[in-house]
Structure formats: C-alpha cells, structure tokens
Amino acid sequence: MKIKTLKALNFLILLLVFSACKNGQKDQNTVSTTSEKTVKLNHAANFSISDFGDYYLLIIETPWPDAEEAFTYLLAKENAEIPSGLEYDQQVQIPVEKMVVTSTTHIPALEALNEENSLIGFPGLDYISSEKTRKLINSGKIKELGKNENINTEVLIDLDPEVVIGFAIDGNNKTFETIQKTGIQVMYNGDWTEQTPLGKAEWIKFFGVFYDKLDEAEQIFNQIETDYSEAKELAKSSAETPKVLSGAMYKDQWYLPYGNSWQAQFIKDANANYIYADTEGNGSMALSFENVLDKAQDAKFWISVGQYTSFTQLLEESQHYEQFEAVQNKNVYSVSLTKGETGGVLYFELGPQRPDLVLKDLVSIFHSELLPDYENRFFKALEE
C-alpha cells in the first residue's frame, strides 16, 4: 500500500515538473515572438517597421492611392528564427547585396546609406541625375531595364537581383506580376503617397531595413528633420509673408497644387502665402488662365513654372504671362535649370529625400535677407 502511495506521489511530482517545463517553454516562445519593438516614425503615415531583433516586419499601408490592402514584408537576417504561422507577403534575406529600384526618388536613399553599389538595374537610366550613380552607370555596373511599366524581364532575370523595389500608381502592374512569378521578390515603396515633405524623406528608414542599417537611416533622417526645422524657424523671423503662385499651363489648363499638398506645405513653412492655400484635394487642380490671373496677378513670386528655363521660352508660349507682376519683376523660378548629364531633373530625384534643401531654396527666394550667401540647389530664376 505504501509502495502504491509512493508511486502515485512520484507520478504526481513528475506531472507537476513536466507541466512547469511546458509552461516555461510556452512563456519563452511568447517572449521570442512578442519582443517586438515598433520603430518610431515621426512624419510618415503610409508604412511601419517592427523590429524583432533578427528579423523585421515592414508593412506598406499605402503602396498607391486608394490601395485596398496593405503589404507585409519579412526581412530576415541569416539564420533568423522565424515563428511558425507568421503571415507575410514576401520575404528577403538582409542585408541585401543586389537590388533593382524603379524610381529616381529611391537613388538618394541608397547613396546616403553608402549602398549605391548594390544597385544593378534601373528602368530609364537617363532620368538619373546623381553624379555618383552616373559614374556606376557609365562604368556598366547598372544595367538599363527599359521602362517602369514594361521592364525587360529577360535582362532582369539575368541580373538576378534579390529584390525589386516597385513603384506603381495602382495595383494593375502586370510587369511586376510577371517578375514575381520568376521567383524574384517585388516589394512596393510608396514614398510618393505621403502628404508632407518630411513624411516622404522618412522613407529612408524603409531602405535602411534592407541593408540592416536602420540606426544609420534614423540618424540621417534626424539630421534632415533638424535642418528642416531650423530653416522653418528662420523663415518665421521675417515680417513679410509674400504672395506666391505655383504651377504652370498645359494646353488650356493651369495645373496647381492643392492647399493641403506637400508642395503647398513647403510654401507655408517658408513663411509665404500660397494663393490657393485654402483648397483641398488629391493630385492637381486644373483651372483656367483667367481664374489664375484674377487671383494671382499681383503675386510677388511664381515658382515651379514647369519645363521653362527662360523668359524667352515662357513668353513665346504665351504673351499673356506678361500680365503677372512676378514676370514683370523677374521673380519666376523653375527647377528645370538643374539637370543631370543626360537631362534628368535633379529636383525630382533628390528633392523628396532632402526637403531641408528645398525649404532653404524657398526661404532664400521669399526672404533673401535671411540667407544672403545661400546658393540655391533646385529652384533657380529663369534666364533671359
């Protein structure tokens, strides 16, 4: 009887020990799968990063306007322990060594992280303005892939990139679907969908994860944010708030940014009065010449004048532009005067990544007394 009691007692002890071990293992698993660190994003609204130590989850909330679903990407270090049951759309091992990007706005982030040598292909090489990356193109290290909407998949397959960073205006890009079927990972970047200048620039953290350089990306962005804030505060010190016109005519319509756009935010932060600051919408407004003339004839400055680089070109298009005071006083500025060696406009490439430089340009234009020795990077006065 005592023997049976002893056996029962031993069994009970073993059962308790086994249960304790199981509970301990469950707790350990819970810790390993929930030790998530959410990366702080100060301005970007359309993506998020979760850091789990040896892997990241990168969620793209808005790859294009009105996207119906988000994309979740797993970026894992070598030998990372990935929890079973983890759901994601695409996976890539980091740090990435061979990448293809599809927008010139991606180039400055790679350069800032000193990873431009990982770029092996791009659709439309002539659009790239950066001298640093053009040297790689000229030496044959970056291959031409055709057009973004019709990438040469044969060349791409031969390059064998680990990932293609996609750019799309909607979800109907059949080229990316074809690339995905070959086994090459396609991951979307939606930097252009952000509504603020600093929101766009913060997407350098997106690229930082691919190279396992998130800390470095955060430091770069923090400096950009600081410089932007300092330029904004400097602009506030001016008592004058000049009236500003933006945009240009195309055929019979004048296309201008809405008042809630990132372009209008630049004007506001430069302590100027954008004439359509009270409007809201997506894309661009399309107004008649008469409408704009009535509201902006006395605007002191006209910026973002389209493809024009001289007053001769501007007035050859239409003599009616002479009715604007900004034209009469030669206060018209364009980004089209600063181009790369093959014609790419630097502003469209570098501007989204360096809003601090864009803002300084505008402050120097609207309040020249505040930055008397500043040399503009993007916005320059039209030539004669």
Residue 4's pLDDT band (cuts 50, 70, 90): very low
- 37-224 is a CATH 3.40.50.1980 domain: yes
Q: Is 119 helix (H, G, I), strand (E, B) or coil?
A: strand
Residues 266-315 have pLDDT tens digits of: 999 999 999 999 999 988 999 999 999 999 999 999 999 989 999 999 99
Task: Identify the weakest region by mean pLDDT among 111-115, 171-175, 257-261.
Answer: 171-175
Q: What is the pLDDT at residue 166? A: 94
Distance between CA atoms of residues 151 and 380, nearest Å: 34
Q: What is the pLDDT at residue 173? A: 82
Comparing CA positions, the residue from 356, 274, 369 lying closest to residue 108 is 356
Q: What is the pLDDT at residue 133? A: 97
Q: What is the pLDDT at residue 231? A: 98
Q: For residues 220-246, give the mean pLDDT.
A: 97
Task: Look up residue 169 and give its DSSP letter.
Answer: S
Q: For residues 82-92, give the mean pLDDT.
A: 94
Domain ranges of the chain: 37-224, 238-381
Hey, what amino acid is at 217?
A
**pLDDT surpassing 80 at residue 383:** yes
Q: What is the CATH number of domain 238-381?
A: 3.40.50.1980
The Cα-based distances of 85 to 33, 82, 88, 93 in angstroms read: 11, 9, 10, 18
Residues 105-122 have pLDDT tens digits of: 999 999 999 999 999 999
Q: What is the pLDDT at residue 174? A: 86
Q: Is 216 helix (H, G, I), strand (E, B) or coil?
A: helix
Residues 338-374 have pLDDT tens digits of: 999 999 999 999 999 999 999 999 999 999 999 999 9
The reply to whether domains 37-224 and 238-381 share a CATH topology is yes
* Cβ neighbours for 242, distance < 8 A, ≥ 6 positions apart: 272, 273, 299, 300, 301, 366
CB 317 within 8 A of CB 365: no
Q: What is the pLDDT at residue 283? A: 84
Q: Please give the span between the terminal C-alpha atoms of the chain, in angstroms, as a whole number.
A: 112
**H or E element at residue 270:** none
Comparing CA positions, the residue from 244, 247, 148 lying closest to residue 192 is 148
Residues 176-186 have pLDDT tens digits of: 989 999 999 99
